[in-house]
Structure 1
């Protein structure tokens, strides 16, 4: 995995800090998330991150192909956080970590479900929001217009099947370019599938979320430079009935960061998802 943007040298070896995340609330109340529910939704979070990584790579490939070097400064730098799925291993007569909030009985009864976390490099705590839940503001800044263009490209990358929302980033040093960049993390997606909410993960408002993006997105200078075209639903596409309001508006779920030094965390890739970025 790529190191976090800050590290120290310890006995000749680099030491890096990471955060471990699990779901704390998925809409049923605080700490009412089963082991299997946490595993299911963390794997979907991993799928979202992998898809966003692919889209951002494609976006900057398009930038390289279409934008001359003298105009490259007109587009800001974004990247996607590196991550791994960590599986908490309870050894011998040990117990699940306190941070997991899982009892011995719950851990045993949950089998074959695993106690999993998403592990990411620890970065700065200052977060910038570029879009939210059912909210896609128009930006005038270089960073904001680039973020909006990435969201536009994401729609094209998924062939009109998914919208990117809840875009947020924090600054860090890229492990590849060694330059200051803006790392996207914890994305939300909305799908066009006429299925239950949360098809692509918690916070998926389906057709309502997609329609909101169409209504609110406005192409800025970066979209125009890349000739991304107009954002439109497919002809004749039914945007569907509105989802329930209020209590479901923030149903992306709450991720809890935790972990301790008394437990091992084995790395794995989620079944059915691309291998996590390394």
Structure 2
């Protein structure tokens, strides 16, 4: 299928043509069924977003023309150059500008990639600024067929479950099987992990964040979250003033605040939780990101020691907190904060700030379901094995949930950045979406060891069961029962 074409330096033209029903070849007659599309993009657009846009155009036609029995997934498709030429390595996750630069750095590359334009598109490429990038949209049919097999297996599993008239099981009931497992002793743990759930006492419910569009000048003070490597206890480091104006800075960032953390809160951006509660929840999220990164480093070291090959190019998003302060021209809070005046004690709104990345999101687990989903490739297996490592390393006291990521360059390679994770802890209260022991039990019940887990012997060294001194599901004294019993509900805006 012909895919994006680019007119630099301002925008990209995307041309959609024929789909490849086999891994390396193009079937006759498919091109006419899919058709051609031209669409403009800025050179700062992320390549994964362009691939996603192409897929959204292809899938309805793919299904209506009965080229398959289920829609294509993002992990099952890719771009190649015209003539089935593979792109340069590690060029799939950066911006369109970086993609162009990587394929035009020499005259040989310009001739092989940029100037290799199919006849039907040469009339578009006229003039010095109308050089286009003609790519092909390919489908990996091996992965597609594997997906069909998994889909059929899931349907068989569902059909074997109790009928619709059966009473639905609660979280505690669904984890009742844990009581039949032998409890195991708990290893000596870093103090910060065992106390993570009690570090943030605000435990409420939330919903998924929204993308904000409000922008305004604001003066802020920067706070960086750190985790002590010896005991994993979070620390906050205050730095100099940082100014973001309406023109933006050298780095594009996304800033988030919370306006809803409970189902009882009004579903409106004009609703405000307290400044302190907002700050606590954002501190918790920043701590989860830092803790996740440190545990990921340890996981990679373990894989290296055991000589087990995993997907190496994963990282957690780097985040810091910014609190608005009345300095200089910003005597009033930003419009995005929704505040009319600064608070005498709490000051202004606190924002969680992350680097802006592609909008494509790959979901690996949800809040209460940790089984594999989508394509079970090396990247997915690595994330799920890493989740098992966290559970085992913490002695069953900590579970990372809602693991999701965006394709992005990591140390010069096509990789993945994980963001907005949630955690379940024995004490509960580690942030939005912490279900306490009930949440940990859902990991025990739904995680299925993959090939990496087995190669790393996690199925033996980190068995899926609670520590022996943690109350079982039938106990009335559930230390995590007052945690957050719901999904995260944070809504975000850009200042």
What interval of TM-score do these two structures reach, taking the shorter chain for normalisation? 0.7 to 0.9
How many Å separate the matches in 2 of 1:158 and 1:76? 22
Q: Tell me the CA shift for residue 76 of structure 1.
A: 5.5
The 1:76–1:219 alpha-carbon spacing in structure 2 relative to 1, beyond 3 Å, is farther
Aligned match of 2:340: 103
Cα contact 2:333–2:348 (8 A) shared by 1: no
Cα contact 2:364–2:372 (8 A) shared by 1: no
2:372 counterpart SS class:
coil
Cα contact 1:5–1:123 (8 A) shared by 2: no
1:171 counterpart SS class:
strand
Q: Tell me the CA shift for residue 6 of structure 1.
A: 5.0
Q: Give matches, 1:209-248, under 5 Å.
A: 209-228=439-458, 229=461, 230-235=463-468, 237-240=470-473, 248=485
How many Å separate the matches in 2 of 1:50 and 1:113? 25
Q: Tell me the CA shift for residue 34 of structure 1.
A: 1.5
Structure whose CA Rg is larger? 2
- Taking CA–CA contacts closer than 8 Å with sequence separation of 6 or more, which of the two structures ends up with the larger relative contact order? 1
Q: In the alignment, does 2:275 pair up with 1:38? A: no
Aligned match of 2:354: 120
Cα contact 2:400–2:421 (8 A) shared by 1: yes
Say which of 154, 158, 164 aligns to 2:390: 154
How many Å separate the matches in 2 of 1:113 and 1:90? 8
- 4+ runs deviating over 4 angstroms: 4-8, 240-244
Cα contact 2:405–2:416 (8 A) shared by 1: yes
The structure richer in strand per residue is 1
The 1:239–1:96 alpha-carbon spacing in structure 2 relative to 1, beyond 3 Å, is farther
Cα contact 1:211–1:239 (8 A) shared by 2: no
Cα contact 2:403–2:418 (8 A) shared by 1: yes
Say which of 31, 39, 47 aligns to 2:287: 47
Aligned match of 1:22: 257
Q: In the alignment, does 2:340 pair up with 1:89? A: no
Aligned match of 2:426: 192
1:255 counterpart SS class:
coil
The 1:183–1:49 alpha-carbon spacing in structure 2 relative to 1, beyond 3 Å, is same
Q: In the alignment, does 2:419 pair up with 1:182? A: no
Aligned-CA RMSD value: 2.8
Say which of 428, 435, 441 aligns to 1:205: 435
Aligned match of 2:121: none
Q: In the alignment, does 2:374 pair up with 1:141? A: no
Q: Tell me the CA shift for residue 206 of structure 1.
A: 0.3
May I ask how many residue pairs the two structures share in their alignment?
237
How many Å separate the matches in 2 of 1:204 and 1:121? 25
The 1:212–1:40 alpha-carbon spacing in structure 2 relative to 1, beyond 3 Å, is same
Cα contact 1:7–1:15 (8 A) shared by 2: no
How many Å separate the matches in 2 of 1:53 and 1:237? 27
TM-score by length of 2: 0.44
Aligned match of 1:64: 304
Deviations 1:153-174 (A, max 9, x none): 1113333321110000001112
Cα contact 1:169–1:185 (8 A) shared by 2: yes
Cα contact 2:260–2:272 (8 A) shared by 1: yes
TM-score by length of 1: 0.76
